């Protein structure tokens, strides 16, 4: 079960950041973007301090349109295998790649966004209809004759968490219907 570093003497509204830790001991430092008090605790919206990235590859066996044969690399063993190559190519851009909890991240200044470097990736999630995400190209590299590409999402990566009355923090699924009003309040509170 993921654990979280949190200072119990501070109130959630006063916390600037939280460190998430996954089951494998990797950490991810996140800013607390917003907090909302509820009867069962405080819900917090978190955003990684460093820049999230994803690694994609194209399945050469699919003879369809270029964007339909792109595959998001999610297998942790394969990510560990190609990680040194990805880290080296990003270092050439003065970006430091880290294998953090819940996502890969980079530190450094991203190159300017160029229209021809934007990829619209259709996400086919089991319980949801096709959703599209815009990604900014960072670099290509090869590992064992397979071409990989590193991209960063243009939309911020957000985590929904709950700080309960016992002082424990746990991630909460934003897909849970009961969380929808809380998530909307956290997302849109500042815009009103």
Q: Looking at the structure, do residues 92 and 147 belong to the same domain, yes or no?
A: yes
The model's pLDDT over 82-101, given as tens digits with 9 standing for 90+, comes to 999 999 999 999 999 999 99
Q: Looking at the structure, do residues 45 and 55 belong to the same domain, yes or no?
A: no
Record the tokens describing residue 118, joined without a space: 């934007």
Q: Looking at the structure, do residues 44 and 55 belong to the same domain, yes or no?
A: no
- Give yes or no for a contact between 173 and 31, defined as CB atoms under 8 angstroms apart: no
Q: Looking at the structure, do residues 7 and 67 belong to the same domain, yes or no?
A: no
Domain that holds residue 45: 3-49+156-188
Record the tokens describing residue 92, joined without a space: 């050439």
Long-range pairs for 20-25: beta carbons < 8 A, 24 or more residues apart: 20/46, 20/101, 20/102, 20/159, 20/161, 20/171, 21/101, 22/101, 22/102, 24/101
* C-alpha of 191 from chain center: 23
Q: Give the number of domains in the chain.
A: 2
**pTM check: above 0.75:** yes
Q: Looking at the structure, do residues 56 and 149 belong to the same domain, yes or no?
A: yes
Q: Looking at the structure, do residues 7 and 33 belong to the same domain, yes or no?
A: yes
Q: Looking at the structure, do residues 112 and 167 belong to the same domain, yes or no?
A: no
Q: Looking at the structure, do residues 78 and 93 belong to the same domain, yes or no?
A: yes
Residue 113, pLDDT score: 85
Residue 3, pLDDT score: 40
Q: Looking at the structure, do residues 42 and 136 belong to the same domain, yes or no?
A: no
Indicate if the alpha-carbon torsion angle 28, 29, 33, 36 is positive or negative: positive
Residue 124, pLDDT score: 55
Q: What are phi and psi of 116, to 5 degrees?
A: -75, -5
Q: Looking at the structure, do residues 60 and 124 belong to the same domain, yes or no?
A: yes
Q: Looking at the structure, do residues 40 and 23 belong to the same domain, yes or no?
A: yes
Q: What are phi and psi of 160, to 5 degrees?
A: -105, 125
Q: Looking at the structure, do residues 10 and 61 belong to the same domain, yes or no?
A: no
Tell me how crowded residue 106 is: count the other CB atoms within 10 A of its CB. Answer: 24
Residue 1, pLDDT score: 37
Find the DSSP H helices in the chain.
76-91, 180-188
Residues of the chain falling short of pLDDT 70? 1-15, 60-68, 123-131, 189-192
Task: Give the span between the Cα atoms of 132 and 120, in whole angstroms.
Answer: 6
């Amino acid at each position: 079960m993921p654990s979280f570093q949190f200072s119990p003497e501070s109130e959630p509204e006063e916390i600037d950041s939280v460190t998430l830790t996954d089951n494998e001991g990797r950490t991810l430092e996140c800013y607390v973007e917003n907090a909302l008090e509820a009867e069962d605790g405080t819900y917090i919206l978190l955003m990684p301090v460093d820049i999230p990235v994803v690694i994609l590859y194209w399945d050469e066996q699919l003879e369809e349109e270029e964007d339909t044969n792109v595959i998001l690399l999610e297998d942790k063993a394969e990510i560990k295998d190609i990680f040194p190559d990805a880290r080296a190519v990003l270092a050439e851009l003065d970006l430091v790649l880290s294998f953090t909890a819940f996502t890969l991240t980079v530190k450094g200044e991203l190159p300017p966004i160029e229209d021809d470097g934007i990829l619209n990736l259709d996400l086919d999630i089991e319980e949801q209809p096709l959703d599209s995400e815009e990604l900014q190209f960072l670099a290509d590299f090869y590992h064992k004759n397979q071409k990989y590409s590193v991209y960063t999402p243009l939309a911020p990566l957000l985590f929904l968490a709950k700080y309960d009355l016992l002082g424990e923090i746990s991630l909460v699924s934003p897909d849970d219907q009961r969380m929808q009003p809380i998530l909307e309040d956290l997302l849109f509170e500042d815009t009103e």
